[in-house]
Amino acid sequence: MTTQEMNQAFEQAYGRKAEKIFFAPGRVNLIGEHTDYNGGCVFPCALSFGAWLLIAPNADKVLRFKSLNMPQEYSIQLSAISPQPDRAWCNYALGCIDIITRRHPEAKLQSGYDLLYFGNVPAGAGLSSSAAMEVVTARAFTEEMGWTLADDKKYRTELALIGQACEHEYAGVMCGVMDQFASAQGKKDHAIYLNCDTLEFEHVPVKLDGIKVVITNTHSPHHLDSGAYNDRVRQCHTAVEQISKVKPIKFLAELTPEDWEQVEGAITDPIAKKRARHVVGEVARTAQAVEALKQGKIELFGELMTASHVSLRDDYEVTGKELDTLAEAAWQVEGVLGSRMTGGGFGGCTVSLVRDEAIETFKAFVGKEYEEKTGLKADFYVAEIGDGVMRLE
Distance, CA of 24 to CA of 137 (rounded, Å): 9
Per rule CB under 6 A, is residue 25 in the interface with ligand GLA? Answer: no
Per rule CB under 6 A, is residue 37 in the interface with ligand GLA? Answer: yes
The residue from 36, 98, 114, 179 that is catalytic is: 179
Per rule CB under 6 A, is residue 34 in the interface with ligand GLA? Answer: yes
How buried is residue 101: exposed, middle or buried, by Cβ count under 10 Å (0-12/13-18/19+)? middle
Coil, strand or helix at 105: coil
**By the 8 A CB rule, do 381 and 214 touch?**
yes
The residues with which 286 forms a beta bridge, in sequence order, are none
Residue 192: CB minimum distance to ligand GLA, A: 13
Residue 275: CB minimum distance to ligand GLA, A: 12
* Contact positions with ligand GLA (CB under 6 A) in 331-370: 343-344
> Pick from 178, 214, 289, 378: which binds ligand GLA (CB under 6 A)?
178
What count of other Cβ atoms lies within 10 Å of the Cβ of residue 292?
19
> Pick from 95, 176, 338, 386: which binds ligand GLA (CB under 6 A)?
176
Q: CA nearest 298: which of 206, 178, 168?
A: 206
What count of other Cβ atoms lies within 10 Å of the Cβ of residue 382?
11
Residue 216: CB minimum distance to ligand GLA, A: 17
**By the 8 A CB rule, do 10 and 24 touch?**
no
Per rule CB under 6 A, is residue 282 in the interface with ligand GLA? Answer: no
Residue 304: CB minimum distance to ligand GLA, A: 15
Contacts 24+ apart (CB under 8 A), 304-310: 304/31, 304/338, 305/30, 305/31, 305/337, 305/338, 305/339, 305/340, 305/351, 305/352, 305/353, 306/331, 306/338, 306/339, 306/340, 307/281, 308/31, 308/33, 308/282, 308/340, 309/339, 309/340, 309/341, 309/350
Beta carbon nearer to ligand GLA, 175 or 359: 175
Question: To 10 degrees, what angle do helices 152-171 and 91-103 make?
Answer: 120
* Contact positions with ligand GLA (CB under 6 A) in 179-218: 179
Q: How far is CA 282 from CA 94, 102, 305, 315, in A?
A: 34, 35, 10, 11
Q: CA nearest 243: which of 272, 211, 285?
A: 272
Residue 119: CB minimum distance to ligand GLA, A: 16
Task: Look up 179 and say whether it is catalytic.
Answer: yes
Beta carbon nearer to ligand GLA, 124 or 344: 344
Residue 308: CB minimum distance to ligand GLA, A: 10
Per rule CB under 6 A, is residue 33 in the interface with ligand GLA? Answer: yes
Beta carbon nearer to ligand GLA, 37 or 74: 37
Beta carbon nearer to ligand GLA, 178 or 351: 178
Residue 220: CB minimum distance to ligand GLA, A: 16
How buried is residue 148: exposed, middle or buried, by Cβ count under 10 Å (0-12/13-18/19+)? middle
The conformation of residue 251, written as its DSSP 8-state character, comes to -
Beta carbon nearer to ligand GLA, 112 or 176: 176
Beta carbon nearer to ligand GLA, 179 or 328: 179
Q: Which stretch binds ligand GLA (CB under 6 A): 5-13, 174-182, 252-260, 362-370?
A: 174-182
Distance, CA of 262 to CA of 264 (rounded, Å): 6
Coil, strand or helix at 9: helix
Q: Which stretch binds ligand GLA (CB under 6 A): 80-88, 170-178, 203-211, 245-253?
A: 170-178
Per rule CB under 6 A, is residue 134 in the interface with ligand GLA? Answer: no
Per rule CB under 6 A, is residue 40 in the interface with ligand GLA? Answer: no
Per rule CB under 6 A, is residue 36 in the interface with ligand GLA? Answer: yes
Q: Name the residues that contact ligand GLA, by CB under 6 A.
A: 33-34, 36-37, 175-176, 178-179, 343-344
The catalytic residues are 179
